[in-house]
Structure 1
Amino acid sequence: MAVRVAAAAPRDLFEAAAVIHRAFATLTGRIDPPSAAMNETPETLAARFDRGGAVFVARLDGEIVGAVCADPKADGSLYLDRLAVDPALTGKGIARALIEAVEAFGLAQDHDRVTLGVRLLLTDNIALFRHLGYAETGRKAHPGFSEPTSMDMAKSMRPA
């Protein structure tokens, strides 16, 4: 099984949004508040290109089975979000390949670090990011919540 990751072309955005919806639908009822990822459309994904960001897709046998977004931030970082893998294909290295694509893009665009936010309830996701060298940088509560609901994480793109 060879997974190929590449920058999405405009024609890929419908399928990219669909895989994001499939992946994040598995969180319905598990996280509160619900993820805004369910609001992604081909148009909202395309808007990332206008901001200097990117969308990457993972293909298996020619079909899009994963997607991730990357957005540059004013502080010099690159924000990774909407990491999505088709629920039938988790555990096959697709998420790692997508994350590596964002990191390579970050280096090529001269960003000093990749940042992200992950829900505290998604302990497997947190473990994956830690395994890949991301460290916690803080916690936040979504509006209307008194306790933290998400963790901020970052990985330096510069040699130590």
Structure 2
Amino acid sequence: MQTIRRARREDADNIAALVTQAYTPYIARIGRQPAPMLEDYRQVVNDTDTFVLTDGAEIAGVLVMSREDMELLLVNVAVLPRFKGRGIGKRLMALCEQHALDLGCEAIRLYTHELMVENIGIYHKLGYRETHRATENGFARVFMRKALVAR
């Protein structure tokens, strides 16, 4: 049975392992570990709105968000590779949007590496629009935004 819940501090090691598995395929493409692999997930769980999707006792997906004024920053969404194609990413993205609306946010912002082209395509399909590109901390990033309409 799959459930979504707020991450707890004791989930940090499992979240870090999930992120490592999810992002390892991109290392060869971008020439270094992607930024999410460099995070301290104990600190992330403390400082952000982090949710996990569990499948039984296993964490299969993670969603990390942070409110910035009237917008929500989608910091990270990741799914264990063996769970891909089961709609987990879509469920986590829907949660992100609902969370933003619940907080009264006007938009969701995110960024991804410019070489993670499949992710850019997914975000476009979900209604995100590219706002600009820039290099930050040595990463060539694509910045995107989705305006929200209160329901």
Q: What's the TM-score bracket when you normalise by the shorter of the two chains?
A: 0.7 to 0.9
Does residue 108 of structure 1 match 2:99?
A: no
Q: Is the 8 A contact 2:113 2:141 kept in 1?
A: yes
Tell me which residue corresponds to 2:64.
69
Tell me which residue corresponds to 2:39.
40
More strand per residue: 2
For 1:1-160, what aligned pairs fall within 5 Å after superposition?
3-32=2-31, 34-48=33-47, 53-74=48-69, 76-143=70-137, 149-159=140-150
2 CA distance for matches of 1:71 and 1:61? Answer: 27
TM-score calculated relative to the size of structure 2: 0.87
Q: Is the 8 A contact 2:26 2:116 kept in 1?
A: no
* Pairwise CA distance, 1:6: 2.3
* Pairwise CA distance, 1:143: 4.8
User: CA, structure 1 residues 144+85, in 2 after alignment: closer, same or farther (shift >3 Å)?
Assistant: closer
Identity %: 26
1 CA distance for matches of 2:50 and 2:100? Answer: 12
2 CA distance for matches of 1:108 and 1:123? Answer: 30
Q: Aligned partner of 1:90: which letter?
A: K
1 CA distance for matches of 2:59 and 2:78? Answer: 11
Q: Is the 8 A contact 1:5 1:97 kept in 2?
A: no
Q: Structure 1, unaligned stretches of length 5 or more?
A: none
Q: Structure 2, unaligned stretches of length 5 or more?
A: none
Deviations 1:94-148 (A, max 9, x none): 1111111111111111111110001121111111111111111111123558xxx
2 CA distance for matches of 1:108 and 1:95? Answer: 20
Range that drifts further, 103-112 or 22-31: 22-31
Range that drifts further, 135-144 or 91-100: 135-144
1 CA distance for matches of 2:148 and 2:98? Answer: 9
